[in-house]
Amino acid sequence: MRSVLDLPQAHKRLSPAARKRFDRIFSFSLDEGRLRVPEGMVPWAEKQFGSAAKLERQPILKVTDNVVFEGALFNQLRAERPMHNDAPVSREELLQRAASEPFADPEKNTPEDAFGRVYGKSEVTASNVAKYDALHGLVIFAKADPLAFTEEELIDHYETALSWIAAAHNERADALYPVVGWNCLWKAGASLVHGHLQTLLGTGSHYATAEHYRAAGEAYRRKYESSYWDDLFKVHESLGLGVERQGVRVFASLTPKKEKEVVLLGKQADRRLFSSLYRVLDAYRGLGVESFNVAMLLPPLDGSWKGFPVIVRVVDRGALSSQTTDVAFVELYLGQSVVSSDQAKVWDAVSESLGRKGR
């Protein structure tokens, strides 16, 4: 596909087996939003969008994953709509802000967990002062600039996060449900500029989305005698939106949470997975992404969720200068994300960074 809007034609070109697999998971429709631009509005429309005709007939693609009930509404015109923006934020300004934050000297200005700190080559852990959950830590990068990481540094950040999870589990044997998150800068929900990961280890049950994925995946397996996660990747691969790299399956999602979402599926959280994540984030930097979220959901530490992969989801959260939030009632309450990026074009950049073309 040259564009995500080519999905209807790409669906027709799939082999019977691939189309059957697609239809097990997804449904879609391509519609057109129509309006009439009054004469007095034409000069503004031409200046803002290039032409009034682009407004009068807008192709809109709706895609729904009917297994986990996540969906997206694609309208590329929304990327050109008027936005309230401040001046662009320079890297120098980011570093100036970070220099005055507590993470500049974490051992002096951050608390440690009851089991102490974990030290890596390029980071140190801390306990979060305002916790999401009872076991909630931070992996604080040695470098303040959250966008200035090398591949080895990123791998080390995540390996230190895994060491924190092991230490937390040693402290609380009943804590079995791990998550590692990254809110990169304020558009992604970070309260501080200085680069850091969030580490969580839950008790009682996994976090709600992981439990939902597990239940949906088990229902899918019972119905089709096939793995939902394997089929999900194969669908994207058959459309030229996914590739496997060193055992890690990577694809540009047809139902992204928000802009430019890429999903990685690994058999375990290891250097190969972290290396592929680095490649995705490096492609993001090449695309000019300034702020992003990464969520890594891991299966329970007791090994009870057989066949459940390590799931990593990465999403662009927009320009730092934008005053407009990218999440509204549609995302919060309708289960559909409104997306202006073209996942086929996102995949071009990501697959190049991965070192293999997906199509």
pLDDT values of the chain reduced to their tens digit, one per residue, 359 residues: 899 999 999 999 999 999 999 999 999 999 999 999 999 999 999 988 999 998 999 999 999 999 999 999 999 888 767 667 778 888 899 999 999 999 999 999 999 999 999 999 999 999 999 999 999 999 999 999 999 999 999 999 999 999 999 999 999 999 999 999 999 999 999 999 999 999 999 999 999 999 999 999 999 999 999 999 999 999 999 999 999 999 999 999 999 999 999 999 999 999 999 999 999 999 999 999 999 999 999 999 999 999 999 999 999 999 998 888 888 999 999 999 999 999 999 999 999 999 854 33
| pLDDT on residue 352 | 94
Nearest to 70 by CA among 228, 189, 190: 228
Q: What is the SS3 assignment for the chain? A: CCCHHHHHHHHHHCCHHHHHHHHHHEEEEEEEEECCCCHHHHHHHHHHHCCCHHHHEEEEEEEEECCCCEEEEECHHHHHCCCCECCCCCHHHHHHHHHCCHHHCHHHHCCCECCECCECCCEEEEECCCCCCCCEEEEEECCCCCCCCCHHHHHHHHHHHHHHHHHHHHHCCCEEEEEEEEEECHHHCCCCCCCEEEEEEEECCCCHHHHHHHHHHHHHHHHHCCCHHHHHHHHHHHCCCEEEECCEEEEECCCCCCCCCEEEEECCCCHHHHHHHHHHHHHHHHCCCCCEEEEEECCCCCCCCCCCCEEEEEEECCCCCECCCCCCHHHHHHCEEEECCCHHHHHHHHHHHHCCCCC
| pLDDT on residue 314 | 98
Instruction: Supply φ then ψ for residue 282, to 5 degrees.
Output: -65, -40
* CA–CA dist 101, 108 (Å, integer): 12
Q: What is the pLDDT of residues 143-194, one digit of tens each?
A: 999 999 999 999 999 999 999 999 999 999 999 999 999 999 999 999 999 9
| pLDDT on residue 79 | 73
Mean residue pLDDT of the chain comes to 94
The answer as to whether 82 is a domain residue is: no
| pLDDT on residue 170 | 97
* CA–CA dist 210, 310 (Å, integer): 10
248 is in which domain, residue-wise? Answer: 89-359
The answer as to whether 5 is a domain residue is: no
In this prediction the pTM is 0.94
The answer as to whether 35 is a domain residue is: no
**What's the number of domains the chain is made of?**
1
| pLDDT on residue 356 | 56
The answer as to whether 27 is a domain residue is: no
The answer as to whether 3 is a domain residue is: no
User: How do beta strands 136-141 and 123-127 pair?
Assistant: antiparallel
The answer as to whether 40 is a domain residue is: no
CATH code at 303? Answer: 3.30.428.10
The answer as to whether 244 is a domain residue is: yes
* CA–CA dist 97, 26 (Å, integer): 44
The answer as to whether 101 is a domain residue is: yes
| pLDDT on residue 195 | 96
* CA–CA dist 180, 35 (Å, integer): 45
Q: What is the pLDDT of residues 40-66, one digit of tens each?
A: 999 999 988 999 998 999 999 999 999
| pLDDT on residue 77 | 87
Q: What is the pLDDT of residues 212-222, one digit of tens each?
A: 999 999 999 99
